[in-house]
């Protein structure tokens, strides 16, 4: 999967700018605050419908503008695909080959993308929501309909939460909660199965990569804990009973306490919680292994590697990990966009683009 052209209008610090990329490595060079990361963010937003930096679209608008537009030409399976994303009149609209998509779920996964930045260490040392997000974003790219499944589940959780916070009598709440719990079990079970399957596949690949990075001196273990249980099948069997057992507590606390929206991905280093015991270098190796495993899994699913976006990653890796990553990219022929500051040592291979005050130009020679 390759990106050929990319066009930003009124996005972040860009007025109206286009750039043509090459297969292989593309290096975006410039001082801090010039717009390198904004290009990466724009491409990611175009492909996933979300920013990895902010929650609300209006924060992506150029100052004093009311709409932004992103366009891109891509190649997937030797076919050219034109994607558009428009934020206008406070609404988001997406198109594939000029045809509007009714739902974002029909759009996500058209072109696969993996994003990696130093902030991704939060996958290891952050809270459960970061690890659930990691799983869900990957599944959404390879499983059509998963976004709809997540949206349906979240709506049920919102409705149940509203009921728990209402002033209805406890007896009335209990009967109504049973109806929502039936839907939570139905939708939540599907989410658990998807996440559990992906976790096992990630572990298989990431473990091998981690062994290579650490010369087999350390052991990486990744497990999905559904409803607090390591065995997802046991969790699914006990799901309805857990909801019933927690009902009084949910009513008292006015919170939905049971479901995959509270699940976690456990990451262990030599059988100890990596969040507590792994050094920053070890955490970087874990995240690198998991990101590279994502690349491999998408390649297995789609027959092509996804687009890889690296935002200021190389400066955070030691020489061994940096060389390992670059060799992986080059031998796998993965189109990669890398942001770097002008002060950093440049890569020997790859096309270079200079970014300055919201303008992009390719460096020749």
Known binding-site residue numbers for ATP:
30-37
> Which segments of the chain does DSSP mark as H helices, in order?
36-48, 122-125, 128-142, 146-164, 170-214, 232-245, 247-253, 274-277, 280-302, 319-332
Residue of 76, 9, 26 lying closest to 336 (CA atoms): 26
Per-residue burial over 258-286, b if 16 or more Cβ lie within 10 Å, else e, is bbbbbbbbbbbbeeeebbeebeeebbbbb
Interatomic CA distance for residues 38 and 53, integer angstroms:
10
3-class secondary structure, 10: strand
Q: Spell out the residues 6+ positions from residue 83 whose beta carbon is closer than 8 angstroms to its own.
A: 46, 47, 71, 72, 74, 94, 95, 96, 107, 110, 111
The torsion angles phi and psi of 39, rounded to 5 degrees, stand at -65, -45
The torsion angles phi and psi of 87, rounded to 5 degrees, stand at -115, 105
* Binding site per annotation, positions: 30-37
Interatomic CA distance for residues 70 and 44, integer angstroms:
11
Other C-beta atoms lying within 10 Å of the C-beta of residue 68: 22
The torsion angles phi and psi of 135, rounded to 5 degrees, stand at -65, -50
Residue of 327, 11, 345, 329 lying closest to 337 (CA atoms): 329
Q: How far is CA 174 from the centre of its chain?
A: 37
Kind of pairing between the strands at 351-356 and 68-76: unpaired
Cα Rg of the chain (Å, integer): 22
């Amino acid at each position: 999967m390759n990106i050929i052209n990319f066009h930003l209008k009124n996005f972040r610090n860009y007025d109206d700018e286009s750039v043509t990329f090459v297969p292989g490595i593309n290096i975006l060079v410039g001082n801090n605050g010039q717009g390198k990361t904004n290009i990466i963010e724009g491409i990611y937003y175009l492909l996933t419908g979300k920013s990895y930096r902010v929650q609300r679209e209006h924060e992506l608008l150029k100052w004093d503008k009311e709409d932004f537009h992103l366009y891109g030409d891509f190649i997937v399976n030797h076919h050219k695909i034109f994607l558009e994303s428009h934020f206008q009149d406070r609404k988001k609209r997406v198109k594939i080959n000029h045809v509007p998509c009714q739902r974002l779920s029909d759009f996500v996964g058209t072109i696969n993308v993996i994003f990696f930045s130093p902030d991704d260490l939060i996958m290891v040392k952050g809270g459960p929501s970061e690890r659930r997000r990691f799983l869900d974003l990957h599944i959404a790219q390879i499983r059509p309909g998963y976004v709809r499944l997540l949206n349906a589940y979240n709506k049920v959780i919102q409705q149940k939460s509203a009921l728990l916070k209402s002033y209805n009598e406890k007896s009335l709440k209990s009967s109504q909660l049973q109806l929502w719990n039936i839907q939570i079990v139905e939708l939540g079970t599907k989410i658990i199965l998807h996440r559990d399957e992906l976790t096992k596949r990630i572990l298989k690949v990431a473990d091998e990569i981690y062994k290579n990075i650490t010369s087999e001196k350390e052991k990486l273990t990744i497990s999905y804990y559904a409803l607090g249980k390591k065995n997802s099948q046991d969790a699914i069997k006990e799901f309805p009973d857990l909801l019933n057992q927690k009902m009084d507590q949910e009513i008292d606390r006015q919170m939905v306490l049971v479901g995959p929206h509270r699940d976690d991905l456990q990451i262990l280093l030599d059988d100890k919680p990596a969040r507590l015991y792994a050094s920053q270098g070890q955490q970087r190796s874990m995240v690198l292994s998991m990101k590279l495993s994502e690349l491999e899994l998408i390649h297995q699913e789609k027959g092509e590697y996804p687009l890889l976006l690296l935002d200021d990653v190389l400066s955070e890796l030691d020489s061994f990990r940096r060389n390992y990553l670059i060799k992986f990219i080059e031998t796998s022929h993965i189109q990669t966009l890398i942001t770097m500051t002008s002060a950093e040592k440049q890569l020997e291979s790859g096309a270079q683009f200079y970014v300055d005050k919201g303008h992009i130009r390719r460096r020749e020679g």
